[in-house]
A and B are shown apart, each in its own frame.
Chain A
Amino acid sequence: MHRLLQQQLESSVGSAASLPPAWQRFLDTVDAAYSHADEEHARFERELDELRQTERMLHYSEEKTLALLEEIDAYFEADLTGHLTYVNSRFCEAVQYSREEVVGRHYRHYTDRRFIRKIFEAFNTIYRTGEPQEGVIFSLLRRNGDTGYTEANVSLMRDLDGKPIGFRGILRDVTENLRMEAELRKAKDAAEGELEIGRQIQAGFLPEHLPQPQGWEINGHFRPAREVAGDFYDAFLLARGSMMGIVIADVCGKGVGAALFMALVRSLVRAYANHNFSQNTIEVIARGQARAATTLAHRSALVAQGVIPATSSVLKDAVLRTVTETNDYIATNHGKANMFATLFLGVLDPASGLLTYVNGGHDAPVISGGGINKVRLDPTGPAVGMLPDMEFKVHQVYLEPGDTLVMYTDGVVDARNPRGGFFGEPHLLSLLARPTESAGALLQAIDDDLRAHIADASQFDDITMLAIRRTAEFEWEQQERAKDTHGDRLKLEISREATLENLPVLREFVEDACLQAGISEDTTFAFKLAVDEVCTNIVTHGYAGLTPGPIEVTFRKNAQHVAVTITDRGHPFDPDQAARPDLEASWEVRQIGGLGLYFVHELMDNVRYWSDSARGNHLTMIKRLDEPGSSPEL
């Protein structure tokens, strides 16, 4: 504009060059001012443009957001009190109310009573933590009275300063999903119902109470698979309570069929056993028991030599017949079902510990005692019920004081961990070999291990165990430890450094103790030699390579027994594991090793060894006083 002014000035006053200097300066100033204003204006225009642009973008963004909110699932915003401040049209469709009707009302009008509290708690948590909540499920009430279900992801809304101002949530309709889940559950419940029937049949046929003859402990353990597998155990008195039948079995198949078959097998065994141990048998057994009582100590030797006492043929016959009759009944009358069972039947004479048994194809039960697995009762015939007239054999074994017989089904060894690894027989055997306080404690320990092994994997098969323990004379010895010496009990102790020089001292201690206790010369000699042999091993092997520590010898006596416990802190060693010397070997090849421990076992009625890192190694040996026949022939 100043150029226009200049032109006008020039036309009126002539050429610019002819202008007086004062005018010229004035024009320059005006010119500079205009030039500045131009720049200002341009900047203003630019800023205005930017603003417009921003405004357009904001508008576009808002539209886009709103459009998005309409496109996605139902959406709501609510203030901190739970009053809805915005809902999209999907929300309106879901509840069948218009936006005008919904906005400003409290959420509780659109859900049922059960969920008001739940939503409140979700809001509360979000407000407190600032964290969004996902998967909040609640009902949506429709105008027409229907109920839909929705799953919401809810988060906190904040203003520009970060202050919470309300909640927003995106809802997903899950009405259909929930309906399908409910139907699935119903179908599953029906299947479970059948399983439950099978399970109840099975549980109903397990004995509620196990007989507990004096001097014996019996414990059963049963954990059913999800799908019933038809295992069972049983223990029942026979022959007017003078004998006890024990059974463990695994019936083939799964489900209700297996449970019914299990009930059949269990009833057949009981019925035939009762019949075969009838009056006639009782009398023979009673006579035999009376005779056997005086020769108790010789029984093991007699069985070992194949000289079986007269009663045992009656027992063997009755047990064998029970199994063959059960087998033939099933095979003949239920042959079409092709059902069979692995079955172990034992009949125990609690007075002597004689177990007469047939093992029909079942996992071999284990007799353990004194910290080792002594013997396994391998199958003596095929599984029961496959074909009539199958041949079974009957065997006998003695359970000594402190022995435990553990029967189990394959569900124990075949239990898998989450990576598919088996629990395994070696592991089970290692658990069985451990010294135990009671049959119940042993089964509990195995089950604890099983649970840890299976963890969150599926249990495919029933887990069934039955343990029978002949309570040990050791229990008396253990109880004595807590008591003082009084009455007919006697307790003497000595502790010496484990050196060869102290062996005579320890022998003399035992000799003096026996003298004080009024024990026979034979028994005194037996203890003197046994203690010397054990202590010699402790000195030469137990503390080999170590500074000699203590040997403690504790002597205990009551009316029936003498027990000597020897404790050391050397290397653990199990005398039961030592190889037996070959006493028949000629002098050229005769080895001397193991002879000392052989003596210990020969001289004592019972020897037990156990070891733990905290309390050292313990060896307890016991000799009975009241049975003249119990001393081994020397």
Chain B
Amino acid sequence: MRLTAEQQGEATVVSIAGSVDALTAGEVMSYFEKLVSEGATRLVADLHAVDYVSSAGLRSFLGTLKAARQAGGDLRLAGAQENVQKVLAMAGFTSILKTYPDSEAAVASFA
């Protein structure tokens, strides 16, 4: 699993590649926490290179979402593959956070 962050307009886009599972969720969570603490609260998680997310992965998204919103920002998801989208839907996450087909659309939503 790899993480890279890039400022795009109003938002900080974090590209995640690989699996977000119990093994890597902690790393994802602390990566986002660090960004929020540095003032980057408008966050886009670009998931197009994520091939797998388990409930542990969702935990890190929920934690980030709470931290960002409490700081006045938000976490928005972009480009989730079909399987990842299924997991988000099954957990009811699609009703509590916004998802976009790609990171451009997600970034634009912050404008």
Contacts and interface: CB of A to CB of B under 8 A. Distances in A.
A533 B62 contact: no
A532 B21 contact: yes
B23 A500 contact: yes
B66 to A, nearest CB: 7
Interface residues of A, number: 27
B47 interface: no
A583 B65 contact: no
A107 interface: no
Given A500-B23, A634-B86, A592 B55 contact: yes
Contact of B21 (A536, A584, A592, A599): A536
B108 interface: no
A503 B21 contact: yes
B49 interface: no
B58 to A, nearest CB: 7
A195 B95 CA distance: 68
Contact of B86 (A503, A525, A533): A525
A501 interface: yes
A540 B22 contact: yes
A595 B55 contact: yes
Contact of A503 (B23, B87, B90): B23
Interface string A514-541: 0000000000010011001100100110
Interface in A594-631: 595-596, 598-599, 602
B58 A592 contact: yes
Interface string B87-111: 1011110011100000000000000
A146 interface: no
Interface centre among A501, A540, A588 (most CB of B within 10 A): A588
Interface in B12-39: 19, 21-23
Interface string A324-365: 000000000000000000000000000000000000000000
Interface of A: 500-501, 503-504, 507, 525, 528-529, 532-533, 536, 539-540, 581, 583-584, 586-588, 590, 592, 595-596, 598-599, 602, 634
Given A596-B56, A602-B90, 4 more contacts: A536-B21, A536-B54, A539-B22, A587-B96
Interface of B: 19, 21-23, 52, 54-56, 58-59, 62, 65-66, 69, 83, 86-87, 89-92, 95-97
Closest 6 CB pairs of A and B: A583-B92, A596-B55, A634-B86, A536-B22, A595-B55, A500-B23
